[in-house]
Structure 1
Amino acid sequence: MINELRVGCLRMSCLRLLQYTAAPPPFCLCRCRRHRTKLFTTSCSAERQKVVVISGPTGAGKSRLSLELAKRLNGEIISADSVQVYKGLDIGSAKPSIAERQEVPHHLVDILHPSEDYSVGQFYEDARQLTREILGRGRVPIVTGGTGLYLRWFIYGKPDVPKSSPEITLEVNSELGNLQRDGDWDAAIDLVIKAGDPGVQSLAANDWYRLRRRLEILKSSGASPSAFQVPYNSFKENFETSKLDLDDSSGIITSAAELQESNSTKDLDYDFNCFFLSTQRLDLYRALDFRCEDMCLDDGILSEANWLLDLGLLSNSNSATRAIGYRQAMDYLLISREQGGLSSSKDFYRFLSEFQKASRNFAKRQLTWFRNEPLYQWIDASKPLENVLNFICDAYNDQTGEIKVPESLCMNKDVSNHKQVRLLKSYRTRNRHFIGREDCSGILEWVRRTQGQHTASSIC
């Protein structure tokens, strides 16, 4: 039953309108009322400790919000960003500044050399360990980032796939090594399919790390990765089953709070307070285009991409070089090197356009990903930061569980009207820094000076 009395519960599983009382009652009535809408759930447990999760599409303002929230809640930030883990990749990852990291402790930032790979499994282990340590210090873990798979594993748990032995790792590297050096992705895919994993066809092209990992799992267990239970999938299956049960029993569409209450979030390890920060898609796209421009000023991201090339890394060859912005910049600089440092304004604007388009597409994928996540409360990032902070602090400190996102802060998950759809389809980038040929003359001079010293032979 959803409508039931729970005694001694410090946090209820249904969130309703925020109410302030002189003194909280010794018990709470957890009644989910069907006439209330836009309700969200955390969980009802006096034993589980609270963890705040802040996510959102790239460029939505997650870092700033988390920094200010950490100051208010005596928190420490755990980065859930697959690029910020790398030293030297500062501009393209919008990494928090040294001053900000001194003001509030940040974790999983600048922990790896760009030549190393970092997996979602390693993030899970690192982030969970840090969470325990932060809670042990009496502080609040604030997990912040837009890497959806990192956050999904962090909240729900990781699949129980076997670890690879050194022998199997060597065997896999031997089988795929030559194909990777030759850039023969199709042959590598065929090899793994014949080994017994047809699911590799869904991998992004040249994602050699994930291809190797899938072959390692196959060789270690004799089964493809899809054969292993994924905690999130089990959670979603229970969620959908609960939804059907409630609809069948009531005959009406139930609220989000009722559905999530029946889904029993108490099975999760922590009391997760999850928030998704976003803006209207059109505004987000404009902001991303401007952000990409800003990253190119004073050769910013191009200098970092140049450093990656000087390390001997190639575009799209590992986790760091697959990152949006770096991949496009490295490709652009490689072409310039092959041409003895020559580059035209057309070449530069082609690179910038590809960078901007990749950033917009990534943000769109993030919105789609988190739209399917049941635990997140969506908040409008265009609203005053102070209002957003006040709501999240109230939600975190609430002892009754009776709170909902105010209408003034609500962010619609979907494009809600035909006008928005039409505007999105007709969207065109309008730069503010790089408009004419002369606007990129400084960049072209920097490319000529830095890339002209490289020859095609030195690249090989």
Structure 2
Amino acid sequence: MVPSGIYSLRGFRLPQKPIFPSLFCCRKTLVTTSSSVSVSKKKEKVIVISGPTGAGKSRLALELAKRLNGEIISADSVQVYRGLDVGSAKPSPSDRKEVPHHLIDILHPSQDYSVGQFFDDARQATRDVLDSGRVPIVTGGTGLYLRWFIYGKPDVPKASLEIAAKVYSELADFEREDDWEAAVQYVVKAGDPKAQSLASNDWYRLRRSLEIIRSSGSPPSAFEVPYDSFRHQLDSSEAIDSHDLKSSADAPEQEPVKELDYDFICFFLSSPRLDLYRLIDMRCEHMLSETDGILSEARWLLDTGLLPNSNSATRAIGYRQAMEYLLRCREKGGMSSSRDFYYFLSEFQKASRNFAKRQLTWFRNEHIYHWLNASRPLEKVLDCIYDAYKDESGNLYLPEFLQMKKDLSNRKEASELKAYRTRNRHFVHREDCSDILDWIRRTQGCEM
């Protein structure tokens, strides 16, 4: 029998004091159980599957959707763009025909897409899927997208058309002269010191910051972020539980419990770090070895008049590096040496591994996710998630062999990671990139 005091992170409902921190049963770990907080209405279930780039979350979501009669809602900041297929590992047309997908190919790469827009679109798609009697499966690795999707978006004022036009005019000269640093200092002086932490040339978010200041007189950071409220709620509960010697009379009065809109069942799929890095390196090679690979897509972006690192699409890992490489080739009249190509490949792989590392760091602090080992048999992982969705007791059991540790397990693993070196499988010798160099000569030499 499951103790009623143990809490659940499935719906992020806060507990009364837990009776036991964990239970072990039949070599399975009781990760979450039912909450002692009464719920007036049974919540609809939404599955969330995330993980670092290259972990296999898209395949997992596809197979799970087949089992559960589900539909997939993409939480990927690059898959929203038409034409960016290879670099974003977009589901194939056949996969999308077999299982409905949402929020894929909805924008041209010249358009920006914000986390607020994603929240509105993804929540509407979730509602539509549920109303059709199917299961929403949200999958992707964009951490901020998923955080807002689960916890809600800040109640930041929307700028009027007049204010938006005024802000655009204020920053137009800076953008025209490509003076990013001066534009940032302008917004800092207007009232948002955190503008200095924005990604370089993220003009959309810089304008949005100034719009909020002009609309409200306050910077974006002045507005309550729902995620912070839930974290504070959880931290407060843990602090109370850690002071067992305190009498209930001395305990601080708790604020009313906040609840999430849905019963989110969240999983983070990852592999041991060394395996993940090898998979990422191979994936980068594969994206370049295809006839219509990421270089072709980067060429198309350049031909549409976009420059690397100029907006959301061209800042994406892989596309930025490929566009910069092709620009260097164009400057040389369409010429590239094998050394130049291998330098580009190395930078592409390194940027992809670093991105995965940032994803791991981000989700390590997201307590609502249950970490699963992607190196285990797919069927076993599917069974685990399927059972979690079908369970009505609020108990979620993770077999120990499916659990993935969030941190490096030992010094040996840390040392191996530090000494990691890429070992390419396809691009090894100088002649292995000859086809790509020929393609560059044919396609880039006449562009200048």
- TM-score (normalizing by structure 1): 0.88
How far 1:39 sits from its partner (Å)? Answer: 4.2
Equivalent residue for 1:118, pick from 113, 116, 126: 113
CA distance, structure 2, for counterparts of residue 264 and residue 194 of structure 1? 38
CA distance, structure 2, for counterparts of residue 95 and residue 283 of structure 1? 22
- Structure 1 441/134 Cα, relative in aligned 2: closer, same or farther at 3 Å? same
Matched, 1:290 2:277: no
- Structure 1 426/208 Cα, relative in aligned 2: closer, same or farther at 3 Å? same
Aligned to 1:329: 322
Aligned to 2:414: 421
Give the number of aligned pairs: 425
CA distance, structure 1, for counterparts of residue 180 and residue 186 of structure 2? 10
Equivalent residue for 1:36, pick from 13, 23, 28: 23
CA distance, structure 2, for counterparts of residue 225 and residue 15 of structure 1? 28
CA distance, structure 1, for counterparts of residue 281 and residue 47 of structure 2? 29
Residue correspondence of structure 1 range 358-373 to structure 2 within 5 A: 358-373=351-366
Question: 1:43–1:266: 8 Å Cα contact kept in structure 2?
Answer: no
Question: 1:82–1:147: 8 Å Cα contact kept in structure 2?
Answer: yes
Aligned to 1:8: none
Equivalent residue for 1:346, pick from 316, 326, 339: 339
SS in 2 for 1:249: coil
Which residues of structure 1 form unaligned runs of 5+? 6-11, 17-29, 252-261, 456-460
How far 1:283 sits from its partner (Å)? Answer: 0.7
Residue correspondence of structure 1 range 297-316 to structure 2 within 5 A: 297-299=289-291, 300-316=293-309
Aligned to 2:438: 445
How far 1:31 sits from its partner (Å)? Answer: 7.2
CA distance, structure 1, for counterparts of residue 169 and residue 91 of structure 2? 39
Q: Runs of 4 or more off by more than 2 Å in structure 1?
A: 2-5, 12-16, 30-46, 262-266
CA offset digits 1:92-125 (Å, max 9, x no partner): 0000000000000000001111111111000000
Question: 2:4–2:34: 8 Å Cα contact kept in structure 1?
Answer: no
CA offset digits 1:252-301 (Å, max 9, x no partner): xxxxxxxxxx9998710000000000011111011001100100013510
CA distance, structure 1, for counterparts of residue 152 and residue 115 of structure 2? 11
CA offset digits 1:336-393 (Å, max 9, x no partner): 1111101111111111111111100100000000000111000000000000000100
CA distance, structure 2, for counterparts of residue 288 and residue 208 of structure 1? 30
Question: 1:76–1:139: 8 Å Cα contact kept in structure 2?
Answer: yes
CA distance, structure 1, for counterparts of residue 447 and residue 269 of structure 2? 43
Question: 1:43–1:271: 8 Å Cα contact kept in structure 2?
Answer: no
How far 1:34 sits from its partner (Å)? Answer: 3.2
Aligned to 2:238: 243
Which residues of structure 2 form unaligned runs of 5+? 11-16, 247-253
Equivalent residue for 1:176, pick from 146, 161, 171: 171
- TM-score (normalizing by structure 2): 0.91
Q: Which moved more, 1:398-407 or 1:102-111?
A: 398-407
CA offset digits 1:141-162 (Å, max 9, x no partner): 0000000000000000000101
Equivalent residue for 2:371, pick from 354, 357, 378: 378
CA distance, structure 1, for counterparts of residue 196 and residue 188 of structure 2? 8
How far 1:43 sits from its partner (Å)? Answer: 6.2
How far 1:403 sits from its partner (Å)? Answer: 2.8
Aligned to 2:382: 389
CA distance, structure 1, for counterparts of residue 162 and residue 30 of structure 2? 51
Matched, 1:69 2:56: no
Percent same amino acid at aligned positions? 66
Question: 1:239–1:263: 8 Å Cα contact kept in structure 2?
Answer: no
How far 1:40 sits from its partner (Å)? Answer: 3.2
Equivalent residue for 1:221, pick from 216, 219, 222: 216
CA distance, structure 2, for counterparts of residue 96 and residue 49 of structure 1? 26
AA of the residue aligned to 1:273: I
RMSD: 2.2
